Amino acid sequence: MQLRDSRAVSKSLDSYARDRLIESDFFSALSAGQVQPEHVRDVFGQYYVWRNRFHRWFGLCVAKSAPFGDARNVPRVLAELIACLDQEIKGNHHKLALSFLTALGIADPTRIEALPVTESYAESFLRCYFAPDRTGDEALAALAGRELVAPGRNQIIISAISEHYGVTSGLEFFRVHTDLEVEHFRALWEALAQDTKADAQRLIEAARMEIWEHITFWDDVYFTIRQAQNKLAS
């Protein structure tokens, strides 16, 4: 697969992400309306905690980018990272997230405590790509992969939350990200493609791994929450 063909790469990775979503314990149960309402609140509460730290992943990509003059794609990479962060801020995504949590019945998100699995996932990107043997291009490819999970994931969330749990407000947070994340992916990937020395297969593998990591995070949170309830009931 050619690195420069962002649409072909996007199509391949989107298919991979949708297959992983089908296999996911949490998203399969959510789609069927089988997740208990209190577990829905708890899982999305942990997603909110993680997402409040997501901007740090962009910072790592900046820190790991090559010096100006060492790679052709540096100016465009930095421009795209700044554009993504600018949309996060100006789009007031945090306010949209709070509206969604309110619709779920979470009155005070500041009281949500991060589970160890959430802490671990938040730090996983930093641990992996700060390593000396990992390149800035790999970190950027992984970040782009995480962005590409959103369309399929958000379609499941919007449909399931409204159909099975009666929540119809606050979903704009997921609607706005469905198309936006695809745009982010293509912009980031096309920036990567400016570097003719990039190892296409290694970058695609980094993107696939982060797709898997992201979906696994949701499953791990769901498992942890159910396990805690089972312990209380025993």
pLDDT band of residue 126 (cuts 50, 70, 90) is very high
* Spatial contact of 21 and 214, defined as CB atoms under 8 Å apart: no
Q: Write out pLDDT tens, residues 52-63.
A: 999 899 999 999
**Confidence (pLDDT) at 196:** 56
**Confidence (pLDDT) at 79:** 84
70/76 Cα distance (integer angstroms): 13
**Confidence (pLDDT) at 30:** 98
Per the structure block, which two tokens stand in for 102?
């309110």
Q: What phi and psi values does residue 68 have, to the nearest 5 degrees?
A: -55, 135
Q: Which residues does 79 contact at the CB level (< 8 Å), separation at least 6?
A: 191
Lowest mean pLDDT among 108-122, 135-149, 159-173: 135-149
Q: What is the mean pLDDT of the chain?
A: 89
Burial pattern 149-187, b for ≥16 Cβ within 10 A else e, equals bbbbbbbbbbebbeebbebeebbebbebbbebbbebbbb
Alpha-carbon torsion (223, 88, 62, 203), positive or negative: positive
Alpha-carbon torsion (41, 44, 46, 52), positive or negative: negative
- Which CATH code fits 6-233? 1.20.910.10
Task: Identify the bridge partners of residue 71 per DSSP, sorted by sequence position.
Answer: 68
**Confidence (pLDDT) at 75:** 82
Residues above pLDDT 90, as percent of the chain:
59
